[in-house]
Amino acid sequence: MPDYLLELSKNPAARNAVKKLNLPLPLPENLKRITGPWPEQPLADLVVDVGHLPKSALAPFLAKALCSAGATVYASGSDSQFAHYQDSATAWGRIAKIVEADAKPTGYKAHALVFDVTGAQGPEDLKAMYAFYNARLRSLASSGRVLICARPFGNAKDLGAAVASRAVEGFMRSVGKEIGKKGATATLLYVDEGAEERLIPVARFFLSHASAYVSGQPVHISGAVAAPKGYSNTRSLDGKTALVTGAAQGIGRQIAIRLALEGARVICMDRPAEEKATAELARQIKGSALHLDITDKDAAKVMADHVAKHGKKLDALIHNAGVTRDKMLVNMDEQRWDMAMTINLMAVMETTDSLLPLMPTDARIVCLSSIAGIAGNPGQTNYAASKAGIIGMVKALAPSFAKKGICINAVAPGFIETRMTAAIPLTTREAGRRLCSLGQGGLPEDVAQVVTFLSTPQASGITGEAIRICGQNFIGA
Amino acid sequence: MAAKKSTATGRRAVIVGGVRTPFIRAFGSFTRLNTIDLGTKAVKGLIEKFPLPLKEIESVVWGGTMLPGGVAVNIGREIVFDAGLPMEVESFTVVRACTTSILSATIAASMIERGDADVIIAGGSDSTSNVEVRMPPTLVHKAAPVVMSAKSTPSDYLKLLGKLRKEDIVPGRPSIRERTTGELMGEAAEKMAARNEISRQAQDAFALQSHLRAAQAISSGRFAQEVIAVETPDGETVYTDNIVRGDTTLEKLAKLKPAFAQGGTLTAGNSSSLTDGGAALLLMSEEKAKALGFTPLAAFKSWSYDAVDPWDQLLIGPAISMPKALAKAGMTGDDVDLVDIHEAFAAQVLCILKALNSDAFAKERLGLDKAVMKRDPEQINIHGGSVALGHPFAATGARMILTMANELAASGKQTALLGVCAGGALSAALLLEAV
């Protein structure tokens, strides 16, 4: 069943009427998304307002990220910081404008408000960040972005810096909740020293409309995994082979489609019972179909053989297949427990292990976790345990995989509009949709965007992370 | 000046000479000359000025973007016939928007350098006065079965008339809009000017420079060595370009209204105009030129053809092509004596210079350490450009090659770098060297 409030909000007359009559209807913003292949300049002609602390280090990198993505930059900061924007902007043919740090924007809506808080020595330094957003947040466009860059608090050399770094996270999460009704999102990128170059493509992704349903999310950017020799912002996956489990329907299907849109040759795997849908998808995206139940005892070997035959190497492995077998714990039979744990967790561990020899030094692994695995859900002890286990696996494997050049991450979808969520009773479903900053459910393609980005060479800075795609769900965010 | 460098390894293609028709504002004296006619005038003028045994000519590599529809597609071959060249002279026609006759010249040079030919006429012509007015394809689709069939009876024709609707018989309006973006060239240039903050004053000052320099080249007789007199079907003889305004001033230019956008900065005065004209070059292998007793003007050193994103900056391409052509020749801007950039719009030239002068552009767009060729607007286009002279699309490249080749020969300078932007977000650069 469609989201009637979202449908209503798409009609300007109805939107106006609701506003005028002061009806207690929380009309969600129709989120801007990228439907076609990623464009070379996802921020073309959009205004990005950017600010720095005097000692912030990221101006050269943010300048490259913003200007090469086509943004018109309004920058505040020191002369030497502004010079980076002036340079990059000239290179990309959009002259950067200098603005006062605490000046209220006039005459424009900003697509994104970016603040670089690296170099903060203590909480007193955050006042500049407060002033920047205080003056500007009103000018943020719908489906806009708040992006804050900081140093990770674990690496801070003294107490003041550590406190400041962690304080930014609370700030960012609250901003996300304030701007959600505009369809706008907030992200915090923790950038390790030495990993600044990796920030460029990550900032591009989180500033673009591709990250529509991610909000309130801190992401750690490290230099743990070797950086790619080069990469392309478009058709990033040309020449690469990806395998998606559970590809026939819903989120898995959209992941396969998005991976193919960005150039990957996709092996679409699903149970033999889904043969028709899997084969149809494989035809549509010019990939191959693998009709296989992941719980078959030789499934791992069959997968490896299929990869060897169709792609020779496996550049991206997407563990998407999963089941729910919900029951309150006191009523849950053993079979439900076993089934969720086997398919959602044990099969993932096993196939990761057996496919690893086929994965080259810049391979990527993405595992579907769930917001239930972070927050817990009544009736989902089995499911939540398996999905939390996924996060454990990703964090445990990341350091050793990093040495091989492989990134492994989890994504945790919240309420996504699928066949699965359509089956939830109406009142529960409505609650699921509304209880997030964006006030609406996400779409399978929103998950696919993040999974696909994490599968690209340019996501080399992200590993061992669990990224929520939940519109900043109020529970578990 | 840079030390003399030479690419004289193996065969080298040289420019022996060239001519062009006067460049005349569209719907003026050349209205009754179509693209083939203008090409024919140029080629005839060329062989009159540089007489050689006609049987030596092996090929005519021609360019045209405004082809006389329904008459001929391979207009080069028609020019062979109309110019009275031997029937055995083979010919083909190329199109690459405003870089068309840079392309025809470098294809000819390639043919010579790989030993396919010794003597080739290359060039291009365009009659914007004869831009084709198209009938809707639906008319063709409906009419074709009746018109093409030998069995059609008068009653079939009557039935056909009954089937036609208004939209089938209203001709399409000719347009120089980009097919992908729907943008007019001028709109694209207006956008570039705004993004790069190129002021109206700067554009007008550059346009003034173009007009004054072109006017000087005409009045001093400098262009007399390359412009031929053309007799029109009306019996008029046209001797010189008619768009150049040697008497224009900054004040006059400042009074003109924006042409493409309200509050815009591009005007008729700082943009090139729709123009009729043709230009032809005589290219030979160096040995053949010597054997036939010609003194070559210049040789081809390197070139680069490129494309950019039409949604971004449609006409910025030369800022990429010119450094690339230099890199291929192992040169930098310090080695270049003359720079000639096609002036579709003063704004577009100034945007290209801004990019060429930017170290950040060189780093981020070209992967170089720093800008390889920095120039001020006063340092380029010594004899003016398309803003003053006009821009018959397929003749402009050959016009620029001709002027620069003559300049190298006359001045004793060593190298000239040409840059041309084009519709479809294409670009070309060509590096010429003295012989």
The beta-carbon neighbor of B364 closest among A72, A91, A95 is A91
C-beta atoms surrounding A199 within 10 Å: 21
Question: With an 8 Å Cβ cutoff, is A70 touching chain B?
Answer: yes
> Residue B197 and residue A88: Cβ atoms within 8 Å?
no
Percent of chain B with pLDDT strictly greater than 90: 83
Encode A79-116: b = buried (16+ Cβ within 10 Å), e = exposed: eebbbbbbbbbbbbbbbbbebeeeeebeeeebbbbbbb
Same domain for A135 and A260? no
Among A95, A232, A233, which would you mutate to test the B interface (most chain B Cβ atoms within 10 Å of its Cβ)? A95
Distance from CA of B365 to the nearest CA of A (A): 7
Q: How confident is the model at residue B71 (pLDDT cuts 50, 70, 90)?
A: confident
- State whether A167 and A260 are in the same domain: no
pLDDT of residue B8 exceeding 60: no
Q: Which pLDDT tens digit goes with each residue over B324-372? A: 999 999 999 999 999 999 999 999 999 999 999 999 999 999 999 999 9
Which is the catalytic residue, given B98, B211, B351, B383? Answer: B98
> Is B351 an annotated catalytic residue?
no
- pLDDT band at B2; cut points 50, 70, 90: very low
Please indicate, yes or no, whether residues A73 and A154 belong to a single structural domain of this protein: yes
Q: What is the pTM of this model?
A: 0.89
In-domain check, residue A236: no
Short-list B250, B319, B279, CA closest to B64: B279
A226 inside domain: no
Question: Are the beta carbons of B360 and A94 separated by less than 8 Å?
Answer: no
Structure confidence by residue, pLDDT tens digits, A89-114 = 999 999 999 988 878 888 889 999 99
Q: A90 — contact with chain B (CB < 8 Å)?
A: yes
Residue A234 included in any domain? no
* Confidence label for B171 from pLDDT (cuts 50, 70 and 90): low
Percent of chain A with pLDDT strictly greater than 70: 96
Instruction: Select the residue of A68, A70, A91 nearest B358 (Cβ to Cβ).
Output: A91
With beta carbons under 8 A apart, name residues in chain A contacting B312. Answer: 40-41, 44, 70, 93
Asked if residue A278 has pLDDT above 50, the reply is: yes
Q: Chain B within 8 Å of A353 (Cβ-Cβ)? A: no
Q: Does the pLDDT of residue A25 top 70, yes or no?
A: no
Q: Are residues A103 and A25 both part of a single domain?
A: no
Nearest by CB to residue A93, choosing from B355, B359, B363, is B355
Residue type, B75: I
Chain A residue closest in CA terms to B314: A93
Mutation site for B-interface testing, chosen from A38, A87, A233 by largest number of B Cβ within 10 Å: A87
pLDDT of residue A412: 97
- All residues of chain B having their beta carbon less than 8 Å from the beta carbon of residue A40 are 309, 312
Cβ atoms of A340 and A383 within 8 Å: the answer is yes
Q: What is the ipTM metric for this complex?
A: 0.83
Where does the pLDDT of residue A425 fall: very low under 50, low under 70, confident under 90, or very high at 90 and above?
confident
Q: Calculate how close chain A gets to B361, using CA atoms only, in Å.
A: 4
B316 contacts chain A (CB < 8 A): yes
Q: Note the pLDDT of residue B6.
A: 45
Mode of pairing for the β-strands spanning B119-127 and B275-285 = antiparallel
Residues A271 and A213 placed together within one structural domain of the fold: no
Burial (0-12, 13-18, 19+ Cβ within 10 Å), A254? buried
Gap from B355 CA to chain A (nearest CA, Å): 6
> What's A461's domain CATH number?
3.40.50.720
- Whether A137 is covered by a domain: the verdict is yes
How many A/B residue pairs have CB atoms within 8 Å? 45
Tens digits of per-residue pLDDT, B137-154?
A: 788 788 888 877 888 888
Task: Classify residue A143: in a domain, yes or no.
Answer: yes
Are A60 and A207 in a shared domain? yes
In the annotation, is A383 catalytic? yes
Q: Report residue A420 CA to chain centroid gap.
A: 21
Closest chain A C-alpha to B371 CA, distance in angstroms: 11
Number of domains chain A contains: 3
- Per DSSP, the residues of B20-56 read EPPPEETTSTTTT--HHHHHHHHHHHHHHHS---GGG
Q: Of A61, A94, A98, which to mutate for an interface test with B (greatest number of B Cβ within 10 Å)?
A: A94
3-state secondary structure of A140: strand
3-state secondary structure of B63: strand
Is the pLDDT at A427 greater than 90? The verdict is no
Average model confidence (pLDDT) across chain A: 93
Calculate how close chain A gets to B364, using CA atoms only, in Å.
7
pLDDT at residue B175 tops 70: no
B3 pLDDT tier (thresholds 50, 70, 90): very low
Q: What is the pLDDT of residue A424?
A: 79
Longest dimension (CA), chain B: 79
What is the structure's pLDDT at B345? 97
Residue B313 to residue A40, Cβ atoms within 8 A: no
The per-residue pLDDT for A100 is: 86
Residue A229 covered by a domain: no
Decide if A91 and B355 are in contact by the 8 Å CB cutoff. Answer: yes
Q: Does A146 lie in the same domain as A23?
A: no
What pLDDT shows up at residue A476?
A: 62
Answer yes or no: is A16 within a domain: yes
Q: Which domain holds residue A15?
A: 1-30
Same domain flag for A104 and A178: yes
B364:A88 CB<8 A: yes
Q: Report the DSSP beta bridge partners of residue A467.
A: A411
Put simply, the answer to whether B361 touches A90 (Cβ < 8 Å) is yes
Sketch out chain B's domains with CATH numbers: 13-131+272-434 (3.40.47.10)
Give B4's pLDDT tier (boundaries 50, 70, 90): very low
For residues A66-84, give the mean pLDDT: 94
Q: Say if the Cβ atoms of A93 and B309 lie within 8 Å.
A: no
**Same domain for A336 and A291:** yes
Do residue A15 and residue A64 come from a single domain? no
Whole-number average pLDDT of chain B: 93
Name the residue facing A95 among B197, B311, B313 (closest C-beta): B197
Q: For chain B, first and last CA: distance in Å?
A: 15
Distance CA B279, CA B395 (A): 5
Please indicate, yes or no, if residue A321 is contained in any of the structural domains: yes
User: Are A49 and A26 found together in one domain?
Assistant: no
- How much is the pLDDT for B154? 85
Q: Categorize the per-residue pLDDT at B269 as very low, low, confident or very high, splitting at 50, 70 and 90.
A: very high
Q: In this predicted structure, what is the pLDDT of residue B249? A: 97
To which residue do tokens 């699965």 refer? Answer: A420
Q: Which residues contact B368 (CB under 8 A, 6 or more apart)?
A: B323, B362
A25 and A136, same domain (yes or no) = no
Chain B residues touching residue A85 (CB < 8 angstroms): none
